[in-house]
Chains A and B, each alone.
Chain A
Amino acid sequence: MNHYLTAFQVIGMRELRRFFTQRGRFLSALVRPLVWLLIFATGFRAALGVSIIAPYQTYITYETYILPGLCAMILLFNGMQSSLSLVYDREVGPMRLLLTAPLPRWWLLFSKLTASVLVGCLQVYAFLAVAVLFGVKLSLAGYVLILPALIGVGLMLGALGLLLSSVIRQLENFATVMNFVIFPVFFLSSALYPLWRMRESSELLFYVCSWNPFTYAVELVRFSAYATSAPVQMAIVAGSGVVFFLLANHLYDPARR
């Protein structure tokens, strides 16, 4: 077991070191949601009024509404970026080093996944800290309570990224998939607008959003931030994460060619 934990530790340290040495990655992880929060939200505040919906108990500003969605967006980008690095690693080599370690492959992939979630959570808290400066904040308990949700959502999205990286052989293809995955997943969710608003415009898109696991990821973060239990969201996030991971692990199996 010691061997497992040692490997877990060095994989985590490597990911953290890479994150802190790549300042551009950190800045873009921070700037992207801030642009949404400070520019997009301000512009659309009037157009996109939000009625009282769970878990909120009163009228809220649009900035407050999209905050959990932007946290999930950070984890979505981080999950995809991390899998992008896996494709890159496999093309240039370091992934081979990891996969030839004398440990079960699922553990190596899980360690890599968890390390990237750790980085994603750091990005989210950095974003939330900057958001406070602009008056968009949660309660103190909210900051603590979202952590398990962030970890769960991060693992699910990281597993999705892992799955994509296992089927994509070249970086060029991956760049295309980023556009075909990130944008639909993000926009077809409750991150930027409540689903009832979507239903008013299109029943079909409403159902698509309802089938999108990312919707439940956003809602899990939202409900956790307001100390409200969300068993359905939790089950869907956990179930999707397990399915994505098992599929990725299967596709990374050396017996497959």
Chain B
Amino acid sequence: MKTALKLDHVSFDYGQKAALKDVSFSVADGTFCALLGPNGAGKSTLFSLLSRLRIPAKGQIDISGRSLLQDPMHGLAGMGIVFQQPTLDLDTTVRQNLIYFAGLHGLRGVDAHHSITRALTRMRMSERADEKVRLLNGGHRRRMEIARALVHNPRILLLDEPTVGLDAQSRKDITDHVHDLVAEGLAVLWATHLVDEIGDHDQVVLLHEGRIIADGPAQTLRGEDRLLDWYLHRTHAENVMP
């Protein structure tokens, strides 16, 4: 499998405070990679580097084999991003939100219409296309944001704690949907601090205090332990909020 996303010795700091220290890992096509870590581990900072809202102080980020720093347009065109905070226009319809996004990626007219229809179908949101976003529940809004991130048919999907604030059923639905997308060949980087969103065959990158402290298949990393126990053990359980 080809490498979709690769970070090589990436560091970032907020002035005196180091947020990421020498972070290296890669995600292959067709892989669900859980970027696991407690609050404050540096997950959102890492996402802002991947989405080029910030530039790393050191290191290299490659998207589909090309440097994000040197060729940002190629990198951004190849990824779909779901931010932790909602980025929706609440008083417009689902379709209008997607048309706006499609336009930002250069899609218009029939092409945009087909792409939007396909993305909504993939996320089972077709019947909601003409509803105002404000009327959707939290789970549907998130699904809509994922559909939006798929409109331009990216090779990589980045999701920053996409299930925060959702009920158990919505969380499970969204996690399952995204695992289905992986089966279609998409590379997914899913930031989370919730281990029940991770399957045994998923890749886990454990980020703690800005450093990668483990990287591998969940099943291998946890050994005979439950994933939660392994996670708490590795990240110093006393520091983790229940």
The interface of chain A, by Cβ under 8 A from chain B, is: 2-3, 6-7, 9-11, 13-14, 17-18, 21, 92-94, 96-104, 254-255, 257
Not counting A93-B88, A104-B73, A257-B14, a sample of 7 additional A-B residue pairs whose C-beta atoms are within 8 angstroms of each other reads A10-B100, A10-B104, A93-B83, A96-B51, A100-B52, A254-B54, A254-B55
Residues from chain A with a CB closer than 8 A to the CB of B227 are none
Looking at the complex, which one of B81, B88, B92, B108 makes contact with A100 (CB distance below 8 Å)? Answer: B81
Residues from chain A with a CB closer than 8 A to the CB of B96 are 17
Tell me, yes or no, whether B182 is within 8 Å of chain A by CB. no
Whether the pair A97, B101 counts as a contact (CB closer than 8 A) is: yes
Tell me, yes or no, whether B172 is within 8 Å of chain A by CB. no
Please indicate which of the listed interface residues A10, A14, A100, A255 has the most CB atoms of chain B within 10 Å of its own CB. Answer: A100
Give the bracket for the number of chain B residues in contact with chain A: 20 to 34
Tell me, yes or no, whether B76 is within 8 Å of chain A by CB. yes
* Listed A/B pairs (10) with beta-carbon separation below 8 Å: A3-B106, A6-B108, A11-B104, A17-B92, A92-B87, A100-B76, A102-B74, A102-B77, A103-B73, A255-B55
Docked CA distance A6–B101 (Å): 11
Residues from chain B with a CB closer than 8 A to the CB of A2 are 106
- Which secondary structure characterizes the binding site on chain A? helix
In whole Å, how far is B75's beta carbon from the nearest beta carbon of chain A? 8
In whole Å, how far is B106's beta carbon from the nearest beta carbon of chain A? 3
Tell me, yes or no, whether B125 is within 8 Å of chain A by CB. no
Q: Tell me whether A7 and B103 are in contact in the complex, defined as CB-CB below 8 angstroms, given that A14-B89, A101-B76, A102-B77 are known contacts.
A: yes
Docked CA distance A132–B102 (Å): 42
Residues from chain A with a CB closer than 8 A to the CB of B51 are 96, 100
Residues from chain A with a CB closer than 8 A to the CB of B89 are 14, 18, 94
In whole Å, how far is A253's beta carbon from the nearest beta carbon of chain B? 8
Q: Tell me whether A7 and B104 are in contact in the complex, defined as CB-CB below 8 angstroms, given that A17-B92, A102-B73, A257-B14 are known contacts.
A: yes
Tell me, yes or no, whether B107 is within 8 Å of chain A by CB. yes
Tell me, yes or no, whether B234 is within 8 Å of chain A by CB. no
Residues from chain A with a CB closer than 8 A to the CB of B77 are 102
